[in-house]
A and B are shown apart, each in its own frame.
Chain A
Amino acid sequence: MFKRYVAAAAGAIAMIASAASAATITGAGATFPAPVYAKWAEAYKAQTGTALNYQAIGSGGGIKQITASTVDFGATDKPLKPDDLATAGLVMFPTVIGGVVPVMNLPGVRAGQIKLTGAQLADIYRGVIKRWNDPLIAKTNAGVALPNLPITVVHRSDGSGTSFVFTSYLSMKAAHWASEVGANDSVKWPTGLGGKGNDGVAAMVKQTEGAIGYVEYAYAKQNSMTYALMQNKAGKFVTPQAANFRAAAANAKWSSAPGFYLLLLDQPGADAWPITAATFILVHAKQEDAAKGREVLSFFDWAYKNGDAAAASLDYVPLPADVKILIRASWKKVVGPDGKPVYH
């Protein structure tokens, strides 16, 4: 009997010892970047032995968990304002870029044939433009045979960073939208149907002639959906593709955005896709365990160096090199109990 206890105790000690040598970083939050974090984690563990345990519980959950310090980092699609970061004692930085793409189901209309402006999109989602052959849509689509179909608006029913980015864009481009609806991860939609997740929106769009919806870029691309060209700040109608998301990120003024609070909406540049957004990581500015803080930042440092190909293969857009330099510089703000930066 005694022998068995000794064996069990020895086993437990061995387990604790091995846990200490192979550390685990825990994170929780946004579902949108979860596939790329998982892919990075796999490669990182193979190289360094440090495991990442990421729970895709949604941005809201991610913010709550990092505020309560139950995880080492939180992840959110909806950036926190600099004031909120300061109050919560958090540091925020972006990891990858994605975009939101309007998709449609119009008989006889191919991907990229329809051109829309932000104001038109807002009027469609407000229920003001009700038919596809409305003169307001025809204005930017000379030469396209617009069908006489009622427009069915499809939006996300679940609270989502995608909706946040989309409604932020509409708020930016249309004063009516900003005052009547506003921007959030779930809003009071003036009209239309709600689909659960990207696939719910896509299914409803595919099943309804005359429907318009919005999905994440990766989803639109992988499912070859009929997308619209959007007018950007330079007045050009651009295609939703990786290079154009990168253009939006490259032209953005990151250096003048405190806490990287930046929505990459309607950025300057001839190629910039107007509905682009980054997804973010949150860590505590004051780390109780300096070694742990260093491990978290080392993981993202490694991801910035080695993770671009993996991100691109999953149709995320990696950050421009100069933004990565800015982010590394911002990590000086993450300090240990002794007040010294944990990462150098």
Chain B
Amino acid sequence: MTAAIESHEAAPARTAKGAVFDRTFEALCFGAATLLLTALGGLIVSLAIGGWPAFAKFGPRFFISSDWDPVQEVYGASGAIVGTLVSSALALLFALPLALGVAIFLVELCPVRLRRPIGTAVELLAGIPSIVYGMWGLFVFAPWFAHNVQLPIMTAAPPGSIWETITSGVPNGAGILAASLILAIMILPFIAATLRELLLTIPPAVRESAYGLGSNTFEVIRKVSLPYIRTGAVGAIMLGLGRALGETMAVTFIIGNSHGFPTSIFASGATIASTIANEFAEATGELHTASLIALGLVLFVITFAVLALARLMIGRQVNS
């Protein structure tokens, strides 16, 4: 303690300089943080202002109607909103079991030699640009999917049954289900990596005592590991969902892009992001542009809500 004070007194010039430096540094950091916050606030405000003509003109109909007609200047977002929610939910449904399997294998079962290659491969999936997923989806996955999944299911459905209704569509592999599968591959690495981190937070003693009581691996995972990470896992899922909601290019390529409510799992649909990507560049009318900006605001609110929920869940896990 005294030594420290002495050394301070020994170099007074340097301390003064250091204090100035410290204050500048603090100010810079504060500036960086508030700049980001201001940008975020500005973004919301400008989206709200830009989309206002659409909200003012259509009111609640903007959210209820699925009528999207640029010629008549009538815009209803419910088709795109439903398409976004359905494709993201389906993607989550496919991605979650896989991600859970990957995470559990990597943490609990994987031979040490394989741990790195598999972990890296999953992380690499996250690095693939979404446009590449889109092209691969349209040119490679869609034809394969049409031939090996869609056609067999469509022909197996008994005529006149409910199955025929929910599997009807054009057998070329582009539609809600195909888009959801591509989305599932895209969000898989995010969920898997977060789940792996969560599983690693379980103290070895907890797991070892379960084994000590005579549980087998499956029982340990089901009764000890998974309940332990439960809240955090919900956060991980929300992060994946957040990414699925906003994904644009890959979905635009393969979802079939038709407005209105999807009537079957093979039907083509549209999401909020795909609609904006498709129409913004050529939107000339004021109302068309406003409606697209309003769509952006809706997507922002949905994503924000999901991410806030994720934050809350993960925070609770860390604290407990």
A-B contact count (CB 8 A): 96
Bound Cα distance from A159 to B72, whole angstroms: 15
Q: Which residues of A contact B282 (CB under 8 A)?
A: 58-61, 158-161, 185-186
A36 within 8 Å of B by Cβ?
no
Q: Are B173 and A207 in contact (CB under 8 A)?
A: yes
Please name the residue on chain A nearest to B282 by beta carbon: A159
Q: Are B139 and A203 in contact (CB under 8 A)?
A: yes
Q: Are A61 and B170 in contact (CB under 8 A)?
A: no
Bound Cα distance from A325 to B143, whole angstroms: 51
CB distance from A318 to the nearest CB of B (A): 25
Q: Which residues of A contact B72 (CB under 8 A)?
A: 182, 188
A140 within 8 Å of B by Cβ?
no
A192 within 8 Å of B by Cβ?
yes
Q: Which residues of A contact B71 (CB under 8 A)?
A: 181-184, 187-188
CB distance from B296 to the nearest CB of A (A): 16
Q: Known contacts A196-B252, A200-B138; is A186 also within 8 Å of B279 by CB? A: yes
CB distance from A55 to the nearest CB of B (A): 11
Please name the residue on chain A nearest to B258 by beta carbon: A194
Q: Which residues of B contact A158 (CB under 8 A)?
A: 277-279, 281-282
Please name the residue on chain A nearest to B175 by beta carbon: A193
Out of A58, A188, A204, which one reaches B70, CB within 8 Å?
A188
Chain B 182-200 interface residues, beta-carbon cutoff 8 Å to A: none
Chain A 183-217 interface residues, beta-carbon cutoff 8 Å to B: 183-189, 192-196, 200, 203-204, 207-208, 211
A279 within 8 Å of B by Cβ?
no
Q: Are B281 and A159 in contact (CB under 8 A)?
A: yes
B320 within 8 Å of A by Cβ?
no
CB distance from B276 to the nearest CB of A (A): 11
Q: Which residues of B contact A196 (CB under 8 A)?
A: 252-253, 257, 278
Out of A161, A181, A193, which one reaches B174, CB within 8 Å?
A193
Measured as residues with beta carbon below 8 angstroms from the partner, the interface class of chain A is: 20 to 34
Bound Cα distance from A194 to B255, whole angstroms: 8
Q: Are B278 and A193 in contact (CB under 8 A)?
A: no
Q: Are B170 and A194 in contact (CB under 8 A)?
A: no
Measured as residues with beta carbon below 8 angstroms from the partner, the interface class of chain B is: 20 to 34
Bound Cα distance from A185 to B280, whole angstroms: 11
Q: Are B69 and A187 in contact (CB under 8 A)?
A: yes
Bound Cα distance from A59 to B139, whole angstroms: 28
B246 within 8 Å of A by Cβ?
no
Bound Cα distance from A318 to B159, whole angstroms: 54
The interface bits of chain A over 137-163 (1 if a CB of B lies within 8 angstroms of the residue's CB, else 0) are 000000000000000100001111100
Please name the residue on chain B nearest to A210 by beta carbon: B170
Bound Cα distance from A160 to B71, whole angstroms: 13
Q: Are B284 and A63 in contact (CB under 8 A)?
A: yes
A57 within 8 Å of B by Cβ?
yes
B133 within 8 Å of A by Cβ?
no
B119 within 8 Å of A by Cβ?
no
Q: Which residues of B contact A159 (CB under 8 A)?
A: 70, 278-283
Bound Cα distance from A146 to B181, whole angstroms: 35
Q: Which residues of B contact A181 (CB under 8 A)?
A: 71
Bound Cα distance from A196 to B146, whole angstroms: 19
Chain B 141-169 interface residues, beta-carbon cutoff 8 Å to A: 142-143, 146
Bound Cα distance from A194 to B279, whole angstroms: 12
Interface of A is mostly: loop
B123 within 8 Å of A by Cβ?
no
Q: Which residues of A contact B70 (CB under 8 A)?
A: 159, 184-188
Q: Known contacts A182-B71, A194-B268; is A60 also within 8 Å of B171 by CB? A: no
CB distance from A204 to the nearest CB of B (A): 6
Bound Cα distance from A207 to B252, whole angstroms: 17
Q: Are A211 and B252 in contact (CB under 8 A)?
A: no
CB distance from B182 to the nearest CB of A (A): 14
Q: Which residues of A contact B258 (CB under 8 A)?
A: 189, 192-194
Chain B 51-82 interface residues, beta-carbon cutoff 8 Å to A: 67-72
Chain B 275-320 interface residues, beta-carbon cutoff 8 Å to A: 277-284, 289
CB distance from A202 to the nearest CB of B (A): 11
Instruction: Name the residue among B142, B257, B268 with the largest chain A CB count within 10 angstroms.
Output: B257
Bound Cα distance from A182 to B73, whole angstroms: 11
Q: Which residues of B contact A192 (CB under 8 A)?
A: 258
Q: Which residues of B contact A58 (CB under 8 A)?
A: 281-282
Q: Are A203 and B138 in contact (CB under 8 A)?
A: yes
Q: Which residues of A contact B278 (CB under 8 A)?
A: 157-159, 186, 194, 196
Please name the residue on chain A nearest to B73 by beta carbon: A184
CB distance from B155 to the nearest CB of A (A): 14
A78 within 8 Å of B by Cβ?
yes
Please name the residue on chain B nearest to A164 by beta carbon: B282
Q: Which residues of A contact B68 (CB under 8 A)?
A: 188
Out of A61, A182, A183, A208, which one reaches B171, CB within 8 Å?
A208
CB distance from A87 to the nearest CB of B (A): 14
Q: What are 30 A-to-B residue pairs whose CB atoms are below 8 Å?
A: A58-B282, A59-B284, A61-B281, A63-B284, A152-B172, A158-B279, A158-B282, A181-B71, A182-B71, A184-B70, A185-B282, A185-B284, A186-B282, A187-B69, A187-B70, A188-B70, A188-B72, A188-B259, A193-B256, A193-B257, A194-B258, A196-B252, A196-B253, A200-B138, A203-B138, A203-B139, A207-B142, A207-B143, A207-B146, A207-B172
Query: Shortest 9 CB-CB distances between A and B: which pairs?
Result: A159-B282, A194-B257, A58-B281, A157-B257, A182-B71, A208-B172, A188-B69, A158-B278, A60-B282
- Contacts beyond the supplied A185-B282, A188-B259, A189-B258: 18 A-B pairs with Cβ under 8 Å: A31-B281, A60-B281, A78-B284, A157-B257, A158-B281, A159-B281, A159-B282, A183-B71, A187-B69, A187-B70, A188-B69, A188-B71, A192-B258, A193-B256, A193-B258, A193-B268, A196-B253, A204-B172
What is B's interface to A at a CB cutoff of 8 Å?
Answer: 67-72, 138-139, 142-143, 146, 170-174, 252-253, 256-259, 268, 270, 274, 277-284, 289
